[in-house]
C-alpha cells in the first residue's frame, strides 16, 4: 500500500546529483573501513549465490526424473545433497555478513560521533547561539543513526540484489535465450513505468511536500513551546489552528502526490508480482514446448529462477529510499564537520600581563547589521569597568568578545599585548573567566562542576570558592554533599545554578573576570555572591561588568555608557554625573526606580532591633 | 502490534484499517490459490501432453487477473486509507496535545513531542502501513500454498506444514528477546542524546575549563555505551534471524528429500513432485523475508508505542456540571501537591480576598511558582482544593477558568508573528483602540516606535528578536488587554535591566489595579506594595503578614532580605 511505497518513489525521483557530493565525503569518512566493507559484501554475495543451489537442485532433479529411461538414483541423491549444502553455505555466509556489518556499523557510528564532538568542541562558541541545540543534537544522534542502513544493510543487500539476478540471467541464457527474453518482459514493463514517476509535476509536488513538512515541524515546535501561554490565554485555538492548518496542508500535498503516484506505483507492483511473472513464463514456455522448440524440463529453471530477476527493480525502491535518507543525513553531518573552527594560532604568543585593550572593534552577526561600531576601551589591571546602556545597545556582545566567543569583524581585542587570535585558547581561558546569564551545569558532581576549569583543585579550594559564592551551605544540605550529581540526585534552581557558576569563576581565579550582573537578580543570595565576587580583593584583577545596580556603578573605577554599538560617554562615575549627559539621565531614572528599595532598607536599618 | 495500531488510530479509523487488512489477506489467499492451477498446467507441460495445458493456462490467466484486480484495489485503497489516516492522526494528536495538562510538558518532552508530531507521525503511519501488506502477504501466501500442497499430496504437505509452528515460535521468541534489548538501546540513546545536548550547551564552560582538545569523558563514555548496546542488539537479533532461516531451509530440504524419495519409489508422478517443489520454493522466499520485515515492524512498534503512550495520557478531567464562579477571591484549602515523590506543596491553606494583592516570597524551590500553576490548574492537587470565587477549579471549565485569569510569566514565549498578533492573543476581538491603549499602558508603545515595521514588526521564533524586557512588555500588554479579574505574576522583573524594570513595573502597577493579584516576587519594591506577604519554604507557609510587620518580626523573612543588606565591606 501506500504512503511509503510512494515515499520511495519520491526518493527515487530526487535528482541523482543531489546527494553525490555528500556521497563522496561519505566515502572519505568510510575509507578506513574499506576492507571490512569488502568482506561484508563478499560474504553476502557468496551466501546469496549459494542460495541458488537448492533451486538448481530442483532443476537437476527434474531433468533426472523426466529423462527417459531408468532413473540414476546416485545422481538424484548427489543433487539433493548439493542443494542442502548450498542452503547451509548461504545461511553461514549471510549470517556472518550481517553480523560483521552490524558490528562495523557500531564502530562507524562511534567514529562519526566522536568526530562531530571533536569538531563541535572547536567551532566558535558564538556559532552555537545561531543554531538550535536540538538540531545539532539531532545531527550527532539521529543523523548518525540514519547512516546505519547504509553501512549495515545496503551494500550487501544491494550487491546481492544485482549479483544473484545476473548469475541467474547468464544461466538462463545458456538454457534458452528466447524464454529468457520473455521472462524479462515484466521487468521491462516495470522499468518503462519509472519515467512516469519523474515527470516535472511529480518533482514539483516533492518540493511542496518538503516545504509542507517543514511548516508542520515549525508549527509544532511553536505549539509545544508556547503551550503555557497558549493555555493561559485560551489562545490554544491560534497555535492549534496553525498546527492543524499546517497538517491539513501537508496531507493535501501528500495526497495529491499520492494520487499522482499511486496508479503508476500499483502498476509497477503488479508487473513485478510473482503470479504475473509466472503467467508470462508459462505462456511463453507452453508456446515453446508445444512448438517443440524446447525440452519440457528446461521450463523448470525459468519457473524457479525467473522470479528472482525482478529483485533489482524492487531493490531499487527499498535500497534507494534508505540510501537517500542516509545521504541527506550525511550531508548534514558533513555540514557540521566542515564548519570552520576558530583558527588556532600557529605560533601562539604568550600575553604579558593582562591589560585588555579593544581597538576600534566592530562586530555584526550579519553582514548588514553592525552591533558594535568602533569600540575603543582599555581595562587596566586592578580596575572595575562597568558597562551601562539600554537593552540592545550591544553590551552582551561586547563582553562576549573577551572570552573569544566571536572574533571581531574589524579591529582587535588585545590581552597583555597579544591579539586574542594569537593566544593559545587554553592560555586565554586561564586568563579570562566569565559568568554570564545563561548558566549550564553538567550532569556531574557539584565538586566537578565547580572545579571545571581547574580539574586538579583540591576540596578545600572548592569549598572556599563555594563559600564565597554563598552556596556552600546549600551544598552541604544536598543528599551527598559535594558528591551530589546535579540533574540526577538533585535539581538546582536558577539562582543556585548561578551561584555554582560564580563559584566556578572564583575558583578559576583568572586575572580577567567578565560578568553580567543580571545574573544577580535570581535571588538576594545570588546578588550577594556577585557583589562579593566583585569586591574580592583581587589585587590587580581586571573586571568588566554589565552593571544593573547603582551600587556597582558607583563603585566602578570607570563607567562606559554604550548606546547603539558605540561608547557615548566614559569616565569616573562622579565626573560623568557632573557632566549631566546620558549617564546622569540614566542615573536619575535608576534612582527613582531604586528609591523605594533604599527607603525600605533605611526603614529597616532604623528599626529597633540592632542588626 | 496491530491491536496497538488500531488503538492509536482510534475507533473512527480502525474500521477502515481493518477493511484494508482484510483486503490484503484476501489478496494473499488469492495469490496462494492461483498457484494451485500450476499443478495441472505443469502436469500437462512436463508430462508430455503440452496441448492439454491450454485450458488450464487460460484458467491460471483468469486467476491471475482476479489476483491483479484484488491487488490493485488493495494497493489503491491502502494509499487512500493511508492519507485519510494521516490527516486523522494529525488532528487527533494535535487536539490531544492541546488538552494535556501543562505539567506534562517538561523540558525534555518538548523535543520528543516536536519530532513525534511532525516527521515521527508520518514515519510511524507510513512504516506501519507500508510494512503491513508485505507482512500479511509473507504470512498468508505461504500458508495457502501449504494448504494447496496438502490437497495434492498429504505427505509432502504435512512436511511443509511442520514449518508453521516452528516459525511461529521463533517469531514470538525473537520478538520477546528483541524487545528487551531495544528498550535498553533506547535508554542508551536517550542518555547519549542528553550528553550531546549538555556538551553543546556547556561549550563556553567546557572551553573555559580547557576541555576543548581532549575528549569530553562524560560524552565519550555514553557514546561508547551506545555502541556496546547496539552490538548487544545485533547479537540478540542474530539467533532469531538464523533460527528462522535454518528452519525454513531445513523444511525445504526435507520436502526436497522426501519428494526425491517418493519419486524414486514411484509413489508420485515426476510432474507432480516437481510442481510441488516449485510451490515449496515459492513458500520459502516470503518466509525468509519475515525476519527482515519483523525487524522493521519492531522499529515501527517502538515509535507507535511512544505515540500510544502520549495518546493514553489523560488530560485533566473537565467537570460534568460546570459551575460559573461569581466572585474573584482565591483560596487554597489544605492543599497538598506532589511532583513525582517530592512534596512540593505541603498541606497549605491560604486565602486572598477579592481585589487584594498577595506576594509570595521564599527561597528557590519553595514551591512559589507551583502555587500560581495550581491556581491556573496547570496541575491538579493531590489533596485539598484550590478555589476561585469559592468554586473548586476542577468544577470550572478550563475555558471559564482561563477567562478569569491573566498570567505574566518570568519567561515570556511569543509566537512567531507580529507584535500586534501577540498582543491580540489576550483578546482576539479587541478593538483597535483597546489594543493601542493596552500597549501604551504597558509602555510597549515606545518599543514599537523604535522597531522597524512598528506594530507589524515580526518578533521571531519564541520572540527571539526582542530583548527580555521588550518581551515582558508584550506579555503585560497582552494581560492588560485580556482584562481578567485575577492576575498572576511570576517573578516578572527577575532578569531585567533597570530601564526595562522601571517600565515593566509601571505596566504591572496598571495591570494590578483593582484586581485580585498573586505575585511571586523577590524584589522588595514589588513586595512592599502587597496587602499581604507569605514567606514560603518547603511547600509550607513559614511566616505571613504585612511587609513591615514581617521585617520587624526579625524572622526568616527579614533574614531573607537581610542578606542583601549586609554591607559587603563587612566580609
B238 to A66: CB separation less than 8 angstroms, yes or no: no
In chain A, which stretches have pLDDT less than 70? Answer: 1-27, 29, 129-134, 152-156, 228, 230-239, 311-312, 314-324, 391, 437-439, 518-522, 536-538, 590-611
Alpha-carbon distance B535 to nearest alpha carbon in chain A (angstroms): 14
Task: Identify whether residues B340 and B237 lie together within a single domain.
Answer: no
In a domain, B319, yes or no: no
Task: Identify whether residues B262 and B344 lie together within a single domain.
Answer: no
For residue range B136-159, what is the model confidence (pLDDT) as tens digits?
888 888 889 888 888 888 888 888
In a domain, B321, yes or no: no
B119 to A6: CB separation less than 8 angstroms, yes or no: no
Question: What residues of chain A, 136 to 175, have a C-beta less than 8 Å from chain B?
Answer: 136-137, 140-141
In a domain, B65, yes or no: yes
CA dihedral B144, B150, B155, B156 (to 10 degrees): -40
Task: Identify whether residues B408 and B296 lie together within a single domain.
Answer: no
Task: Identify whether residues B496 and B523 lie together within a single domain.
Answer: yes
Contacts of residue A474, defined as CB under 8 A and 6 or more positions apart, other chains included, come to A496, A499
Q: How far apart are CA A345 and CA A422, in angstroms?
A: 5
Question: Domain boundary residue among B282, B311, B340?
Answer: B311
Question: What residues of chain B, 312 to 341, have a C-beta less than 8 Å from chain A?
Answer: none
Return the pLDDT at B332. 93
pLDDT at B54 over 80: yes
**Complex ipTM above 0.95?**
no
Asked if residues A90 and A72 have their Cβ atoms less than 8 Å apart, the reply is: no
Find the CATH number of the domain harbouring B551: 3.40.50.300
Specify the DSSP class assigned to residue A153. I
Task: Identify whether residues B481 and B375 lie together within a single domain.
Answer: yes
Return the pLDDT at A238. 60
Task: Identify whether residues B208 and B354 lie together within a single domain.
Answer: no
A391 to B469: CB separation less than 8 angstroms, yes or no: yes
Element of type H or E holding B350: strand B342-352
In a domain, B318, yes or no: no
Average pLDDT score over chain B: 80
Total domain count, chain B? 2
What ranges make up the beta strands (E) of A399-498? 410-415, 418-419, 432-435
CATH numbers and ranges of domains, chain A: 18-337 (1.20.1560.10), 357-605 (3.40.50.300)
- Give the helix ranges, DSSP H, for A194-235: 200-225, 227-232
Report DSSP letters for A75-132, one per residue: HHHHHHHHHHHHHHHHHHHHHHHHHHHHHHHHHHHHHHHHHHHHHHTTS-HHHHHTS-
Task: Identify whether residues B350 and B305 lie together within a single domain.
Answer: no
Nearest CB to B201; choose among A270, A392, A440: A440
Structure-model confidence comparison of residues B375 and A406, the more confident one: B375
Q: How many CB atoms lie within 10 A of CB A70?
A: 6
Task: Identify whether residues B196 and B254 lie together within a single domain.
Answer: yes
Question: What residues of chain B, 18 to 37, have a C-beta less than 8 Å from chain A?
Answer: 20, 24, 31, 34-35
Q: How far apart are CA A550 and CA B153, in angstroms?
A: 99
Q: How far apart are CA A6 and CA A197, in angstroms?
A: 10
Question: Domain boundary residue among B311, B341, B359?
Answer: B311
Inform me whether the C-beta atom of residue A585 falls under 8 Å from chain B C-beta atoms.
no
Provide, as residue numbers in chain A, all residues whose Cβ is less than 8 Å from the Cβ of B525.
593-594, 596-597, 600
Task: Identify whether residues B76 and B134 lie together within a single domain.
Answer: yes
For residue range B452-470, what is the model confidence (pLDDT) as tens digits?
778 888 877 666 677 777 8
For residue range A288-314, what is the model confidence (pLDDT) as tens digits?
888 888 888 888 888 888 877 776 676
Q: How far apart are CA B132 and CA B126, in angstroms?
A: 10
In a domain, B323, yes or no: no
Find the CATH number of the domain harbouring B61: 1.20.1560.10
What ranges make up the beta strands (E) of B402-442? 405-408
For residue range A352-389, what is the model confidence (pLDDT) as tens digits?
888 999 999 998 877 777 888 889 999 988 888 999 88
Inform me whether the C-beta atom of residue A81 falls under 8 Å from chain B C-beta atoms.
no
Chain B interface test: which of A53, A279, A498 (most B C-beta within 10 Å): A279
N-terminal to C-terminal alpha carbon distance within chain A: 80
In a domain, B204, yes or no: yes
Nearest CB to A391; choose among B119, B195, B497: B497
pLDDT at B71 over 90: no
Task: Identify whether residues B347 and B404 lie together within a single domain.
Answer: yes
Collapsing DSSP to helix, strand or coil, B538 comes out as: coil
Bridge partner residues of B517 (DSSP):
B357, B487
Report DSSP letters for B87-106, one per residue: HHHHHHHHHHHHHS-GGG--
* A542-546, strands of its sheet edge to edge: A432-435, A512-516, A542-546, A384-388, A558-563, A566-571
Q: How far apart are CA B422 and CA B324, in angstroms?
A: 28
**Sign of the four-CA dihedral B542, B546, B547, B548:** negative
Task: Identify whether residues B271 and B420 lie together within a single domain.
Answer: no
Nearest CB to B478; choose among A128, A233, A596: A233
Inform me whether the C-beta atom of residue B380 falls under 8 Å from chain A C-beta atoms.
no
Q: How far apart are CA A532 and CA A595, in angstroms?
A: 23
In a domain, B558, yes or no: yes
Q: How far apart are CA A171 and CA A180, in angstroms?
A: 10
pLDDT at B16 over 70: yes
Task: Identify whether residues B8 and B56 lie together within a single domain.
Answer: yes
- Provide mean pLDDT across the span B52-58: 85
Return the pLDDT at A438. 64
In a domain, B517, yes or no: yes
Query: Which residues form the domain of B100?
Result: 2-311
- Provide mean pLDDT across the span B372-380: 86
Return the pLDDT at A413. 92
Amino acid at each position: 500500500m501506500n504512503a511509503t511505497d510512494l515515499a520511495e518513489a519520491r526518493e527515487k525521483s530526487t535528482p541523482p546529483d543531489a546527494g553525490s557530493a555528500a556521497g563522496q565525503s561519505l566515502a572519505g569518512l568510510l575509507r578506513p573501513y574499506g576492507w571490512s566493507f569488502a568482506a561484508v559484501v563478499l560474504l553476502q554475495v557468496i551466501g546469496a549465490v549459494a542460495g541458488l543451489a537448492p533451486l538448481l537442485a530442483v532443476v537437476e532433479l527434474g531433468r533426472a526424473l523426466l529423462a527417459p529411461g531408468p532413473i540414476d538414483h546416485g545422481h538424484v541423491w548427489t543433487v539433493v545433497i548439493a542443494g542442502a549444502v548450498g542452503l547451509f553455505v548461504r545461511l553461514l555466509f549471510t549470517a556472518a555478513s550481517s553480523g560483521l556489518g552490524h558490528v562495523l556499523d557500531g564502530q562507524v557510528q562511534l567514529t562519526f560521533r566522536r568526530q562531530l564532538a571533536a569538531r563541535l568542541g572547536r567551532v566558535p562558541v558564538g556559532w552555537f547561539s545561531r543554531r538550535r541545540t536540538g538540531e545539532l543534537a539531532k545531527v550527532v544522534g539521529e543523523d548518525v543513526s540514519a547512516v546505519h542502513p547504509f553501512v549495515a544493510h545496503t551494500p550487501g543487500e544491494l550487491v546481492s540484489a544485482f549479483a544473484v539476478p545476473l548469475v541467474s540471467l547468464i544461466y538462463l541464457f545458456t538454457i534458452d535465450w528466447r524464454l529468457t527474453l520473455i521472462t524479462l518482459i515484466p521487468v521491462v514493463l516495470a522499468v518503462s513505468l519509472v519515467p512516469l514517476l519523474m515527470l516535472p509535476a511529480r518533482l514539483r509536488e516533492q518540493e511542496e511536500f518538503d516545504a509542507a513538512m517543514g511548516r508542520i515541524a515549525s508549527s509544532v515546535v511553536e505549539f509545544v513551546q508556547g503551550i503555557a501561554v497558549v493555555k493561559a490565554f485560551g489562545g490554544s485555538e491560534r497555535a492549534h489552528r496553525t498546527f492543524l492548518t499546517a497538517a491539513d496542508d501537508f496531507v493535501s500535498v501528500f495526497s495529491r502526490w499520492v494520487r499522482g503516484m499511486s496508479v503508476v506505483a500499483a502498476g509497477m507492483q503488479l508487473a513485478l508480482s510473482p503470479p504475473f511473472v509466472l503467467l508470462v513464463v508459462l505462456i511463453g514456455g507452453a508456446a515453446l514446448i508445444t512448438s517443440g522448440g524446447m525440452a519440457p524440463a528446461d521450463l523448470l529453471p525459468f519457473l524457479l529462477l525467473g522470479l528472482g530477476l525482478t529483485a533489482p527493480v524492487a531493490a531499487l525502491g527499498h535500497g534507494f529510499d534508505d540510501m537517500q535518507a542516509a545521504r541527506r543525513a550525511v550531508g548534514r553531518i558533513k555540514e557540521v564537520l566542515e564548519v570552520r573552527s576558530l583558527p588556532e594560532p600557529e605560533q601562539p604568543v604568550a600575553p604579558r600581563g593582562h591589560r585588555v585593550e579593544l581597538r576600534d572593534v566592530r562586530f555584526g552577526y550579519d553582514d548588514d547589521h553592525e552591533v558594535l561600531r568602533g569600540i575603543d576601551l582599555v581595562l587596566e589591571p586592578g580596575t572595575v569597568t562597568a558597562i551601562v546602556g539600554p537593552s540592545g545597545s550591544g553590551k552582551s556582545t561586547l563582553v562576549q568578545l573577551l572570552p573569544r566567543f566571536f572574533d571581531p569583524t574589524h579591529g582587535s581585542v588585545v590581552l597583555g599585548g597579544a591579539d586574542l587570535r594569537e593566544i593559545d585558547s587554553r592560555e586565554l581561558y586561564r586568563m579570562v573567566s566569565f559568568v554570564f546569564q545563561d548558566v549550564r551545569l553538567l550532569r556531574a558532581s557539584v565538586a566537578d562542576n565547580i572545579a571545571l576549569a581547574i580539574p586538579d583543585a583540591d576540596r578545600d579550594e572548592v569549598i572556599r570558592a563555594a563559600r564565597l559564592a554563598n552556596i556552600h551551605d546549600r551544598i552541604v544540605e544536598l543528599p551527598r554533599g559535594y558528591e551530589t550529581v546535579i540533574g540526577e540526585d538533585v535539581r538546582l534552581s536558577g539562582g543556585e545554578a548561578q551561584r555554582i557558576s560564580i563559584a566556578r569563576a572564583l575558583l578559576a581565579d583568572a586575572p580577567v573576570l567578565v560578568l553580567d550582573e543580571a545574573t544577580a537578580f535570581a535571588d538576594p543570595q545570588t546578588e550577594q555572591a556577585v557583589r562579593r565576587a566583585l569586591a574580592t580583593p583581587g589585587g590587580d584583577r581586571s573586571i568588566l561588568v554589565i552593571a544593573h545596580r547603582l551600587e556597582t556603578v558607583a563603585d566602578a573605577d570607570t563607567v562606559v555608557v554604550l548606546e547603539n554599538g558605540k561608547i557615548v560617554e566614559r569616565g569616573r562615575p562622579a565626573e560623568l554625573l557632573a557632566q549631566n549627559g546620558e549617564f546622569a539621565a540614566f542615573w536619575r531614572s535608576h534612582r527613582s526606580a531604586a528609591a523605594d528599595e533604599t527607603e525600605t532598607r533605611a526603614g529597616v536599618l532604623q528599626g529597633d532591633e540592632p542588626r | 502490534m496491530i491491536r496497538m495500531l488500531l488503538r492509536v488510530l482510534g475507533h473512527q479509523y480502525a474500521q477502515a484499517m481493518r477493511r484494508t487488512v482484510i483486503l490484503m489477506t484476501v489478496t494473499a489467499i488469492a495469490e496462494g490459490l492461483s498457484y494451485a492451477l500450476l499443478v495441472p498446467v505443469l502436469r500437462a507441460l512436463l508430462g508430455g501432453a503440452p496441448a492439454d495445458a491450454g485450458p488450464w493456462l487460460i484458467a491460471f490467466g483468469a486467476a491471475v487477473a482476479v489476483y491483479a484486480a484484488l491487488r490493485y484495489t488493495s494497493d489503491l485503497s491502502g494509499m487512500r486509507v493511508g492519507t485519510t489516516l494521516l490527516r486523522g492522526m494529525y488532528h487527533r494528536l494535535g487536539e490531544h496535545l492541546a488538552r494535556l495538562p501543562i505539567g506534562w510538558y517538561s523540558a525534555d518532552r518538548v523535543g520528543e513531542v516536536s519530532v513525534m508530531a511532525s516527521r515521527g507521525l508520518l514515519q510511524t503511519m507510513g512504516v506501519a502501513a507500508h510494512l503491513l501488506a508485505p507482512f500479511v502477504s509473507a504470512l498468508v501466501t505461504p500458508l495457502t500454498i501449504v494448504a494447496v500442497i496438502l490437497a495434492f499430496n498429504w505427505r509432502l504437505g504435512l512436511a511443509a506444514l511442520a514449518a508453521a509452528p516452528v516459525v511461529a515460535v521463533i517469531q514470538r521468541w525473537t520478538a520477546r528477546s528483541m524487545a528487551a534489548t531495544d528498550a535498553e538501546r533506547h535508554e542508551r540513546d536517550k542518555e547519549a542524546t542528553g550528553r550531546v545536548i549538555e556538551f553543546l550547551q556547556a561549550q563556553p564552560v567546557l572551553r573555559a575549563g580547557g576541555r576543548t582538545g581532549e575528549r569530553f569523558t562524560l560524552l565519550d563514555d555514553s557514546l561508547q555505551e551506545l555502541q556496546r548496546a547496539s552490538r548487544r542488539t545485533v547479537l540478540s537479533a542474530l539467533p532469531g534471524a538464523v533460527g528462522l532461516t535454518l528452519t525454513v531451509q531445513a523444511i525445504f530440504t526435507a520436502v526436497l528429500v522426501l519428494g526425491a524419495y517418493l519419486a524414486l519409489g514411484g509413489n508420485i508422478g515426476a510432474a507432480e513432485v516437481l510442481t510441488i517443489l516449485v510451490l515449496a520454493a515459492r513458500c520459502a522466499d516470503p518466509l525468509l523475508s519475515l525476519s527482515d520485515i519483523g525487524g522493521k515492524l519492531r522499529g515501527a512498534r517502538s515509535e507507535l508505542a511512544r505515540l500510544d503512550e502520549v495518546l493514553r495520557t489523560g488530560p485533566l478531567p473537565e467537570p460534568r456540571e460546570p459551575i460559573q464562579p461569581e466572585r474573584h477571591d482565591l483560596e487554597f484549602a489544605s492543599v497538598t501537591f506532589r511532583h513525582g515523590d517530592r512534596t512540593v506543596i505541603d498541606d497549605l491553606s491560604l486565602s486572598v480576598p477579592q481585589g487584594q494583592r498577595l506576594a509570595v516570597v521564599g527561597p528557590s524551590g519553595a514551591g512559589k511558582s507551583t502555587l500560581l500553576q495550581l491556581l491556573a490548574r496547570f496541575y491538579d492537587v493531590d489533596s485539598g482544593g484550590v478555589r476561585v470565587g469559592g468554586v473548586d477549579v476542577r468544577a470550572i471549565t478550563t475555558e471559564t477558568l482561563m477567562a478569569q485569569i491573566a498570567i505574566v510569566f518570568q519567561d515570556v514565549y511569543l509566537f512567531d508573528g507580529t507584535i500586534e498578533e501577540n498582543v491580540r492573543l489576550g483578546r482576539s476581538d479587541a478593538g483597535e483602540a483597546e489594543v493601542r491603549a493596552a500597549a501604551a499602558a504597558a509602555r510597549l508603545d515606545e518599543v514599537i516606535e523604535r522597531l522597524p515595521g512598528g506594530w507589524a514588526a515580526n518578533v521571531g521564533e519564541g520572540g527571539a528578536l526582542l530583548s527580555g524586557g521588550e518581551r515582558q512588555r508584550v506579555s503585560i500588554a497582552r494581560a492588560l488587554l485580556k482584562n481578567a479579574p485575577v492576575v498572576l505574576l511570576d517573578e516578572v522583573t527577575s532578569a531585567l535591566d533597570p530601564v526595562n524594570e522601571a517600565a515593566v513595573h509601571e505596566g504591572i502597577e496598571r495591570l494590578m489595579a483593582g484586581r485580585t493579584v498573586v505575585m511571586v516576587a523577590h524584589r522588595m519594591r514589588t513586595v512592599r506594595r502587597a496587602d499581604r506577604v507569605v514567606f514560603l519554604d518547603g511547600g509550607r507557609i513559614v511566616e505571613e503578614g504585612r511587609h513591615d510587620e514581617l521585617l520587624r518580626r526579625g524572622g526568616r523573612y527579614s533574614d531573607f532580605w537581610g542578606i542583601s543588606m549586609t554591607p559587603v565591606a563587612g566580609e
